[in-house]
Amino acid sequence: MLARYLSRRRLLEEGMAGLVLALAGPPPCSRAQAAGSPGFAALTHSTEDRLLVPAGYAYSVVVRWGDPVIPGAPGLDPRTQTPRKQALQFGYNCDCVGFLPLPRGARSSARGLLVVNHEYTNPGLMFPRWDGRIERKTREMVEIELAAHGVSVVEAQREASGAWRYVRRSPYNRRLTGETRMAISGPAAGHPWLKSSYDSAGTLVRGTLNNCSGGTTPWGTVLTCEENFHFYFGGTVEGVTDQSIRAVHRRYGVQDLYGWARHHTRFDMSREPHEPLRFGWVVEVDPYDPSSVPVKRTALGRFKHEAATVVLARRGHVVVYSGDDEPFEYLYKFVSAGRYDPANRAGNLRLLDAGTLYVARFRDDGTGEWLPLRFGQGPLIPANGFASQAEVLINARRAADLLGATKMDRPEDVAVHPQTGKVYAVMTNNIARGADQVDRANPRPDNRFGHIIELSEEAGEHTATRFRWGIFIACGNPNNPHHRAYYQGHKDVSWLATPDNVAFDAAGRLWITTDGQPAAIKANDGVYVVETEGPGRGLARMFLSGPVGCEVCGPAFTPDNRTFFVAIQHPGEAPYEESGRGKASTFANPISRFPDYRADMPPRPSVVAIYRQDGGKVGS
């Protein structure tokens, strides 16, 4: 109510800059139920090099970089690593974690498949003899990195103690890498822009890269997201002769960070100008069928995907929410044309090939709309450079530009409340936003703390094209007026920064992992639990603190909520400070050696299972 009567000048003077809208937020849902206070003693910010959980909890490392996945694989010896060994072992920098019960269709919480994607590699922590210069990378090093990308599938089981282990000889275990053959489907399949010397039909591609976040489907598959694919391609954008493709590469910022083009021509834009267009998609993987071919679903659009959160609409249409993880990019959702049929898995496997992709526009009055990316409608016409729906999807960012979507503060993960159906979209940060660029959905300039938006689809229907929204929390310290933080009025909270991945427990609490707290608040990244309903709404409590140099990601629960999985990504990575690189971290002298803490072993990205020692539900 206050937001209706206070002027924008008054808001600025009080340092709120649009945050008052959050006092109301979306309308309450009649089905909402208070989750109650989490049953653990909150942690405090830490800089210790160890993983911390509350009293009464324990954790087990389920699987680590280099652990054998495929039968016959050796254990990790980083000093004698080869591409062949890595292709049989658990990959690097695990991000999204999906738990799928075994057998398929069961509600088992003691046995299942962990499907884990691998975002990128830290060669300085992987290779003992690398000096940090791209031109010094050998072909073998590049091929090890290629093999360390992708996805790992492992069977995992809970032991009587509550700890988890993975099954080394399971027939379900699988590795997908940067070289694994994958299909391209949907409206962009076969388009000339997706053809290369490796694939004259434009329907097959080698590998998946920079997988970050994802989602699971009701029919038992996993969606894994290709995010910062633009870092892998050498040559110059200006050297691409086709003007239209050159413009697309510019819009996506294609550049060379890894130096792979020196050894593999498919990563050289001057020789393979279409190859970058074959990445930036959502990939569907069927973990229950190790012989299945993963599929890049082009109907979901091409951008730097973070999240592919799946929810069923009332009439059975499949809705997939996704963020484009870069400052001033957009929030999207896809609505399938067909409907989910629980008795027809084969048909469900085609649901993501046809439908409508939308992008969000947030209005300052707390309403918004989903704008369809449809060829031939509005500005998406040949006069503006679009010749087909395929080109709209390949160049989804420019299509969203022309439609006038709202430029957000690094939209990343999305979660849907299991009872209310409200949508929670994470904006990690955006230090590039100036004071003249703020709006109500992105109300802080130099937003180094991030915020989370709560969105209610019209009439509670996820296929709706209109919504109401409010800022659920604005991260930072609520007791420091310079932060302009907001936790639904609560001051005594475990304050956080740079939210990244999110998941709900069965009680409707939002679990938030962070990525970048060392730069924002000089504390390790961790996990926070936030109440979403009732008198504790907005109240945040810290549940986990990660080791030095890591980000925490991939939150996932077993169906019984007695196990909470997280991924500890890039432990030991030296943080970037405002003035440049921070303390050096090398293979010989890393700033962390998590999880082994052995002098002969570098830090290893790992999946961790957290559980209550009394066997109860996590967080309750």
pLDDT above 70 as % of the chain: 93
Which runs of consecutive H residues, i.e. helices, occur in 315-460? 345-348, 389-394, 396-403
pLDDT tens, position by position, 259-318: 999 999 999 999 999 999 999 999 999 999 999 999 999 999 999 999 999 999 999 999
What pLDDT is attached to residue 432?
98
pLDDT of residue 583: 65
Tell which residue, 196, 180, 163, has the closest CA to residue 57: 163
Q: Give the tens place of pLDDT for each residue, 137-191.
A: 999 999 999 999 999 999 999 999 999 999 999 999 999 999 999 999 999 999 9
pLDDT digits (tens, 9 = 90+) for 517-546: 999 999 999 999 999 999 999 999 999 999
b/e sequence 89-115, b meaning 16+ C-beta within 10 Å: bbbbbbbbbbbbbbeeeeebbbbbbbb
Q: Please state, in angstroms and as integers, the Cα–Cα distance from residue 589 to each residue in 61, 128, 592, 599, following that order.
A: 23, 10, 9, 9
Average pLDDT over residues 560-584: 79
The two tokens of residue 436 are 């003249």
Cα gap 153→97, rounded to integer Å: 10
Instruction: Report phi then psi at 123, rounded to 5.
Output: -60, -30
Task: Please name the helix (run of DSSP H) or strand (run of DSSP E) that holds residue 243, with its range, or none.
Answer: helix 243-252
pLDDT at 403 over 90: yes
Beta bridge partners of 528: 512, 542
pLDDT of the residue at 227: 98
Residues 588-605: what's their mean pLDDT? Answer: 97
What is the overall mean pLDDT for the chain?
A: 93
Q: Region 221-225: what's the mean pLDDT?
A: 98
- pLDDT > 90 in the chain, percent: 91
Q: What is the pLDDT of residues 2-50, one digit of tens each?
A: 233 223 333 333 334 444 444 444 443 333 334 456 789 999 999 999 9
Separation of alpha carbons 227 and 323, rounded Å: 10
Q: What is the residue type of 455?
A: L
Mean pLDDT of the 373-398 span: 98
Residue 411, phi then psi, degrees to nearest 5:
-70, 125
DSSP line for 133-179: -GGG--HHHHHHHHHHSEEEEEEEEE-TTS-EEE-TT-TT-EEE-TT
Instruction: Please identify, in words, the CATH class of the domain defined by 30-194+205-232+279-434+451-612.
Output: mainly beta
pLDDT at 387: 98
Average pLDDT value for residue range 102-119: 97
pLDDT tens readout for residues 116-137: 999 999 999 999 999 999 999 9
pLDDT of residue 143: 98
pLDDT reported for residue 16: 40
- pLDDT value of position 584: 81
Per-residue pLDDT tens digits for 204-220: 999 999 999 999 999 99
What is the domain partition of the chain in residue ranges?
30-194+205-232+279-434+451-612
**Secondary structure of residue 396 in the 3-state scheme:** helix
- pTM to 2 decimals? 0.94
Pairing relation of β-strands 510-514 and 526-530?
Answer: antiparallel
> Dihedrals φ, ψ of 347, to 5°?
-70, -35
Cβ contact 333:370 at 8 Å: yes
Predicted local confidence at residue 268, as pLDDT:
97
> How big is the CA angle at 252 (ends 250 and 253), to the nearest 5 degrees?
65
Strands (E), 269-402: 282-285, 295-297, 305-312, 317-324, 327-329, 331-339, 355-362, 367-372
Instruction: Please give the pLDDT value at position 39.
Output: 85
